[in-house]
Amino acid sequence: MKLLVTRPLPEPVLERLRGAHEVVLRGEDRPMSEAEAAAALAAYDAILPTLGDDFAAGAFAGEIRTRLLANFGVGYNHIDIAAARARGVAVTNTPGVLTDATADIAMTLLLASARRAGEGERLLRRGGWTGFHPTAFLGTEVSGKTLGIVGMGAMRGLAWRWSISTGRRSVCLSGRGGWKRWKSWGAGWISWWSRCPAARRRII
């Protein structure tokens, strides 16, 4: 099977792919354009795309050799699923594999903002550190605060569970039917059912 990998991946991953398929590595670390995606669909049996590669409806308008888009990532909004289905192209993604990593990043940003870690790191790098000062980079306590979570998917759910383990309360805004599970874990709730993006503005 002739497989196109649209971005550089870790070498162990590429080695495994090469052991099973004829692999072509695109070698550019930028998203594919729609024209590039269309050309790839005509030239390869399978494609391993990722976020930003433009598999819009127009990319499926011409000749299609590809039978599988094995998307590297959870999100697949860069692929027109209806157009792919209409042309007999299967689309897969990787649900669950980034849940812990994304929750970790969310909590890293929360702690860094509260404790002004970014400011301190920049000061240190430019050689401005002169020693301890009682009022320097005073941040705020995170423990005991109320954490607001908009939507309670798997990633946000993990972040929420991490937060309550360190003494935080939570208010969760969600339109999903699984609210009873989160309520049973002690989450405070404001239930919000609108699917319209415009309705989500200024909710905090």
Top CATH class, 99-124+143-200: alpha beta
The pLDDT value recorded for residue 40 is 98
Using a pLDDT cut of 90, give the percent of the chain over it: 54
Q: How is the chain split into domains, by residue range?
A: 2-92, 99-124+143-200
Residue 30, sorted as left (phi over 0), alpha (psi -120 to 50) or beta, turns out to be beta
| 33-42 average pLDDT score | 98
pLDDT in tens, 24-35: 999 889 999 999
Decide which of 1.20.120.160, 2.30.30.280, 3.40.50.720, 1.10.287.3510 is the CATH code for 2-92. Answer: 3.40.50.720
Going by C-alpha positions, the residue among 73, 77, 91, 92 that lies closest to residue 155 is 73
The pLDDT value recorded for residue 169 is 54
Record the pTM.
Answer: 0.71
pLDDT in tens, 145-170: 766 666 656 655 555 565 555 555 55
